[in-house]
Structure 1
Amino acid sequence: MKVTFLGTGTSQGVPVIGCDCQVCNSLDFRDKRFRASVYIQVGKLSLVIDTGPDFRSQILRAGITELDAVIFTHEHKDHTAGLDDIRPFNFKQQRDMPIFGKRQVLDQVKQEFEYIFARKSYPGIPQVETIEIDENAFTIEGITITPIPVMHYKLPILGFRIGDFTYITDANHIPEDSLKLIEGSEILVLNALQRESHISHFTLNEAVEIAKKIGAKETYFTHISHKLGLHNSVDLELPEGIALAYDGLQLTLD
C-alpha cells in the first residue's frame, strides 16, 4: 500500500487569505497546506478520501493519472467541493466514477452538484455512481475498507481503515467501539487542528494523548491550522513515533 497526502490543511488551507502570521509567511514548503485529502494505492486499486476545493491542483501536483473510486468522510464543503474535477478521469477511463458515502453525505452532494444528477443531462458533466455506505465494512475491487465512526462535534462522520492504515479527520471524539476497530493499525492519521480548545476538532495535546492510547507504530497529524505553529517547530515537540504530515508526504506499508 502507498499513501500520498494530497492535503493536510484545515478548511481555509494554509496560508490563510489575508493573514500575515509567521506560518502563513513561511517559506518552508511543509507550511503550505491544501485542504485535507489522501490518495491510496493498494493492490490494483487507487482511491481518494475526500475531494476538497483544491482537488484539481492536488491531482496535478501529485501526477495522478488513474482513479478508481472516491470515498467521503462527511459532507462539509472543504471535503466535497472539488468533485466536479473527476471529469478527466471519466474521459480517460471511459466509465462512471463510484463515489462512496453515508446517505446524508450523498444527499448533500446531490444538492450541491444538482446538475450532475439532473434528469436532462448536460454534455461533459461528471459521470458518477453513488454507493451508500454505513458503519459496516465494504469492499472495492476486493479490498476491504472498514468505516471508523467518530464525532465531529454533534455530526457523526467516518474515518476509514484499510489494512493496517487508519485515517481519521475532523474529529473531536472517538467512541470506545471505534477505538477497538483501530487497534493494531501500523499507521494512524489523526487530525490536530491547533493548540487552543476547539468545539469540533482535536487539539494538538488531545491528538497526542489519543495517539499514545492507540499505540500505532507511526502516527501522523493532519487537518492542521496555521494557528498550530511552524511545521518544523511543532514537529520537534512531538513524542517519538508521532509527526506532522505535510502535503506530498508518501508512506509505504508492506
Structure 2
Amino acid sequence: MTGSLVPAVSDHLELTILGCGSSSGSPAIGCHCPTCASDNPKNTRSRCSAYVRLGEQALVIDTGPDLRQQALREGLSRIDAVLYTHPHADHLNGIDDLRAFCYVKKGPITLYGNAFTLDNIRSRFHYALMPPSPVWDKPVLVLEEVAQRFDFHGVAVTPIPLQHGKWPCLGWRIGNVAWLTDLSHIPDDSLALLEGLDVLFLDCLRHDPYPSHLGVQQSFEWAQRIAARRTILIHMTHQLEYRALTAECPPGIEVGYDGLTIRVPLSAGAE
C-alpha cells in the first residue's frame, strides 16, 4: 500500500504532543489534588493524541474530544491522514472536527487503522464516509485497513499490534519514532518492530496497576526492553504530578506534556 509517490519534503519528522492525558484529562472535574490544583502548565493534560509533520504532509494520531482546542492552541490548519489506535471515546470522538480540515483543503482525509477500529467508525460515523456536499458540511473520510508497514509520502509507517486489555489496539511507528498509547501488553512480534527507535512515546497511566494500561513501573520496564534512545511518557492521569514523576524517571525516560515537540531525522526510517 502506498500513500503517494511524492516524497516527504523535509528530511526530519516533527511530532507535537497534542495531548498526553487520560480519558478524564487534567485537571479532572471536581478534583483538587496537587496535579489538578497545580499552576504548572505541564500538569494541564488534554486527551491523548499527536500531530506529525512530514514536510508538507501532516498526520494526526487519534482524534480525541479535545481536537479542536488542540488544533487552535498549536495553530494547525492541515491534516492529510489519521492513524487510529483504537475506538475508545477519548481517542475517536473528535472525529467530527476533521470537517474543518476537509473544508480548508477541499479534499478527503484518509483514516488508517485495524479492522476492529474501522468497523466501529463505519457503524457510528457512516455519514462521514460519503462524498462531499457543495458546502463541505461534514467530514469527508476514506478508510484504509492496514496490517503491515506501508509508505506514506516516502516515509515508512508501521502499525504495531498491541493488547489493550481485551481489545486489539495499534501503536504506530513512523520512521524511527513510535507512539504506543493504551496498552497492557506488547507481543513479542511487535517488540521486533520497535528495534532501533530514536524516540518512544509510551503509555503510563498511574502508579497502581490497571488491567488495560501500563503502570509507572511497567512503563519503566518496557522502556528498558525496547531501549529507545529517548522515552517520553504519555496518557497519564492526574494522579501523576509532573515534577514528582520526573524525579522518579530513570535516565533516558522523561515525562511528556501538551505541546512538547520533537524533531528526528528521517534518513533511517525513510524508504
TM-score by length of 2: 0.89
Question: Closer, same or farther in 2 for the Cα pair 1:117/1:2, shift >3 Å?
Answer: closer
Output aligned runs, 1:169-208, within 5 Å: 169-208=181-220
- Superposed, 1:19-38 pairs within 5 Å as 19-38=31-50
1:233 to 236, 241, 244: 244
Summarize the Cα distance change of 1:207–1:32 in structure 2 as closer, same or farther, 3 Å threshold.
same
String of CA shifts for 1:67-92, please: whole Å, max 9, x gaps: 11111001111100001111121111
Maintained 8 Å contact 1:35/1:53:
yes
**Matched residues in 1 for 2:16 and 2:31: separation?**
28
1:126 paired residue number: 139
Structure 2 CA distance for aligned equivalents of residues 13 and 122 of structure 1 = 37
Q: Cα distance 1:121–1:114, how it changes in 2: closer, same or farther (>3 A)?
A: farther
What one-letter code is carried by the residue in structure 2 that aligns with 1:15? P
In the alignment, is the contact (CA less than 8 A) between 1:115 and 1:121 conserved in 2?
A: no
Q: Are 1:242 and 2:253 counterparts?
A: yes
Residue type at the aligned position of 2:237 = S
Q: Distance in 1 between matches of 2:104 and 2:116?
A: 30
Q: C-alpha distance in 2, partners of 1:69/1:116?
A: 14
Q: 1:146 aligns with which of 130, 138, 158?
A: 158
1:34-59, Cα deviation, whole Å (9 max, x unpaired): 00000011233210000000000011
Aligned to 1:222: 234
1:111 aligns with 2:123: yes
> 2:7 is matched with which residue?
none
Equivalent position of 1:50 in the other structure = 62
SS of match in other structure, 1:157: strand
Q: Within 1, Cα distance between the matches of 2:68 and 2:132?
A: 26
Task: Give the deviation of 1:122 after TM superposition.
Answer: 9.8
Work out whether residues 8 and 245 of structure 1, in 8 Å CA contact, stay in contact via their aligned partners in 2: yes
3-state SS of paired residue (1:91) = helix
SS in 2 for 1:13: coil
2:177 is the counterpart of 1:165: yes
Residue ranges of structure 2 left out of the alignment (5+ in a row): 1-12, 266-271
Moved more, 71-80 or 140-149: 140-149
Match of 1:90, SS state, is helix
Aligned length: 252
Alpha-carbon distance in structure 2 between the residues aligned to 1:66 and 1:25: 34
Q: Distance in 2 between matches of 1:119 and 1:63?
A: 27
2:77 corresponds in structure 1 to: 65
**Residue 66 (structure 2) pairs with residue 79 (structure 1):** no
How does the TM-score come out when normalised to structure 1? 0.95
Q: Residue type matched to 1:151 in 2?
A: Q
Contact 2:132 2:140 survives alignment (8 Å): no
User: 2: distance between equivalents of 1:72 and 1:109?
Assistant: 10
* Bigger Cα displacement from structure 2, 48-57 vs 91-100: 91-100
Deviation at 1:119, TM superposition (A): 9.3
Deviation of the 1:115 alpha carbon: 3.0
TM-superposed deviation, 1:186: 0.8
Helix, strand or coil for the counterpart of 1:185?
Answer: coil
Cα drift, residue 120 of structure 1: 11
Question: Secondary structure of 1:227's match?
Answer: coil
Q: What is the identity, as a one-letter code, of the residue corresponding to 1:139?
A: D
2:111 counterpart letter in structure 1: I
Q: Which residue of 2 aligns with 1:102?
A: 114
Identity value in percent: 39
Please report how far the alpha carbon of residue 118 of structure 1 lies from its aligned counterpart in structure 2 after TM superposition: 6.6
The answer to whether the Cα contact below 8 Å between 2:199 and 2:230 also exists between their aligned partners in 1 is: yes
Q: Where does the alignment leave 5 or more consecutive residues of structure 1 unmatched?
A: none
CA-atom RMSD in angstroms:
1.6
